[in-house]
Amino acid sequence: MIRKPVVFITGANGEIGHGLITKLAADGGRRIVTLDLTRLDSALASRVEREFTGSILDTALLERILAEFEIDLVFHLAALLSTRAEFTPLAAHRVNVEGTLLLLEFAQKEGESHGRPVTVVYPSSIAAYGLPDLDTRARADRVREDQYARPTTMYGCNKLYCEQLGRYYARHYKQLTVGAFTGRVDFRAVRFPGLISATTLPSGGTSDYAPEMIHAAARGEAYECFVRPDARIPFMVMPDAVNALLTLAHVPRDRLTQTTYNVAAFNPSADEIRSIVAHAFPNAQITYRVDAKRQTIIDSWPADVDDSAARRDWDFAPQYSFHRAFDEYLIPTIRGQVSGVRGK
Ligand code: SER
């Protein structure tokens, strides 16, 4: 039986999954198979060929998916984010690390069985960094992938390690064993900054203050920002994040000089975000109630990253600057949804 290759997405019902499935389905041409702990939202379910509900740690389920479909591209999105992971570090390690190990093993077997590499695209994170103190952070400027990689969160440790694990599978897997085992997994990772979507809210992250502020203002709800007004990290909007994943997935392998790439689009302070949101939604009630511990996590992440390797190797070029993101994507899309809901 000739099986048509499919795209496999884990953690598909999460925030990136929503953006990615919507775009992949709109582009057409690829059949999508998903795995998530929860059922896909109905808007997504109709766009995929097959939906599996279950855990990334369920090896029997992974075997079943492997037996049924020929997979040539994986977006491994399943993860517990940085704030959530600090409350349940063991569970985070299980999902974020053991889950990724099983997924890489799954991709390896899949690659061995159909004789072509399986591309695994992995969203790593700015949380992989750990700047030691505020002075160093102020001096650090735009941080490269190989600098300050000493994360202080469980999530950051998990992401940094899985970047290495992916590189191992791609380049050194079973290096002492006779036989052609290496090169069956084509692992490619992006270190995302904070992500902001007009249509969904993240859950359990530390960069969540930006999207929460925007969505609360749009709904007419008061919002207490949990970081200081001068807190500054890079962000990008979901359409640019999805484009980055899809571009990286399809660039010819010989153009890639590394397995992990920084990407980012703009890096406003929390107060610059508050100000643009207040301008768009004049009734916004945004105040500050700083959570010192979550602030410490933000302070350990760089104020900006150097994404020149991604720009050079695979032409990464985000479409949305800070102002364009608000004027042409966030505000019109959110207003459309709010008025759409009101109109019903
Ligand atoms: N947005 C993520 C978090 O805050 C960072 O990858 O955990």
Domain assignment present for 10? no
194 Cβ below 6 A of ligand 1: yes
Summarised one tens digit per residue, pLDDT across range 60-80 is: 999 999 999 999 999 999 999
> For residue 155, which atom of ligand 1 is closest to its CA?
7
Ligand 1: centre distance to CA 104 (Å):
22
Domain assignment present for 294? yes
Per-residue confidence (pLDDT) for residue 341, from 0 to 100 = 44
Residue 236 predicted with pLDDT over 90: yes
Amino acid at 112: E
143/131 Cα distance (integer angstroms) = 10
Please state which of the ranges 62-71, 145-154, 261-270 shows the lowest mean pLDDT. 62-71
Residue 344 predicted with pLDDT over 70: no
Per-residue confidence (pLDDT) for residue 254, from 0 to 100 = 96
Per-residue confidence (pLDDT) for residue 125, from 0 to 100 = 98
Per-residue confidence (pLDDT) for residue 182, from 0 to 100 = 82
218 Cβ below 6 A of ligand 1: no
Mean pLDDT along residues 324-342: 81
Q: Best of 15, 81, 88, 293 to mutate for ligand 1, by most ligand atoms within 8 A of CB? A: 81
> For residue 208, which atom of ligand 1 is closest to its CA?
4
Residue 2 predicted with pLDDT over 70: no
Nearest CA to ligand 1 atom 6: 125
197 Cβ below 6 A of ligand 1: no
127 Cβ below 6 A of ligand 1: yes
Ligand 1: centre distance to CA 201 (Å):
12
Residue 338 predicted with pLDDT over 90: no
Please state which of the ranges 83-87, 286-290, 335-339 shows the lowest mean pLDDT. 335-339
Q: What is the CATH number of the domain that holds 289?
A: 3.40.50.720
Domain that includes residue 304, residue range? 79-333
- Give residue 298's pLDDT band: very low, low, confident or very high (50, 70, 90): very high
Q: Best of 155, 159, 196, 300 to mutate for ligand 1, by most ligand atoms within 8 A of CB? A: 155
Give percent of the chain above pLDDT 90.
91
> Length of the chain, please?
344
Amino acid at 265: A
> Which one of the listed residues 155, 169, 223, 261 is annotated catalytic?
155
Q: What is the pTM of this model?
A: 0.96
243/201 Cα distance (integer angstroms) = 19
Give percent of the chain above pLDDT 70.
97
Output the average pLDDT for the chain: 95
206 Cβ below 6 A of ligand 1: yes
Among residues 10, 8, 14, the alpha carbon closest in space to that of 31 is found at 8
Among residues 240, 263, 245, 232, the alpha carbon closest in space to that of 126 is found at 263
Residue 233 contacts residue 267 (beta carbons within 8 Å): yes
Domain assignment present for 53? no
Domain assignment present for 338? no
Domain assignment present for 7? no
Domain assignment present for 201? yes
Per-residue confidence (pLDDT) for residue 288, from 0 to 100 = 98
Summarised one tens digit per residue, pLDDT across range 89-112 is: 999 999 999 999 999 999 999 999
Summarised one tens digit per residue, pLDDT across range 168-217 is: 999 999 999 877 788 899 999 999 999 999 999 998 999 999 999 999 99
Active site residue 155: yes
Among residues 269, 299, 291, 272, the alpha carbon closest in space to that of 138 is found at 299
205 Cβ below 6 A of ligand 1: yes
Domain assignment present for 344? no
Residue 9 contacts residue 33 (beta carbons within 8 Å): yes
Domain assignment present for 114? yes
Ligand 1: centre distance to CA 203 (Å):
9
Mean pLDDT along residues 301-313: 98
Q: Is the dihedral of CA 58, 64, 67, 72 positive or negative?
A: negative
Amino acid at 95: V
Residue 343 predicted with pLDDT over 60: no
Among residues 313, 38, 262, the alpha carbon closest in space to that of 146 is found at 262
What total of structural domains would you count in the chain?
A: 1
207 Cβ below 6 A of ligand 1: yes
